[in-house]
């Protein structure tokens, strides 16, 4: 039987290469992609906040799987958090971290 490993501390900090960041932001602000998100959320449009974070293991300190400073967006009706599509990560040549989440503001 496999045992669960409890992670007490996980460093979710990261720094993106400026070129990779610019490429990723271009993909995340693309009108077609934004329209796709807005359609799913049933709102007029979404605006990329330029806030990214690395998902964290669930723990007592990170019960929502994100750094505490981003929980306010999770709890707000005016924002949504998405997983950055893997193909966007690949196109932007971002391999570390392997996963990122992006925060969008809903435009009603």
Q: Which domain covers residue 60, as residue numbers?
A: 18-107
Burial category of 100 from C-beta neighbours within 10 Å (exposed 0-12, middle 13-18, buried 19 and up): buried
Q: What are the pLDDT digits (tens) for 42-69?
A: 999 999 999 999 998 888 888 898 999 9
In this structure, is residue 1 part of a structural domain?
A: no
Is the pLDDT score of 108 beyond 90? Answer: no
Dihedral of CA 2/99/71/43: which sign? negative
52 in a domain, yes or no? yes
pTM equals 0.85
In the chain, how many domains are there?
A: 1
Structural domain includes residue 6: no
């Amino acid at each position: 039987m496999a045992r669960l490993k409890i992670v007490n501390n996980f460093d979710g900090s990261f720094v993106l290469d400026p070129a990779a960041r610019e490429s990723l932001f271009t993909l995340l602000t693309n009108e077609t992609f934004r329209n796709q998100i807005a359609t799913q959320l049933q709102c007029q449009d979404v605006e990329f906040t330029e806030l990214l974070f690395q998902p964290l293991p669930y723990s007592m300190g990170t019960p929502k799987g994100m750094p505490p400073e981003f929980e306010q967006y999770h709890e707000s009706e005016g924002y949504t958090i998405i997983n950055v599509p893997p193909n966007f990560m690949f196109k932007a040549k971002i391999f570390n971290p392997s996963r990122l989440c992006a925060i969008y503001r809903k435009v009603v």
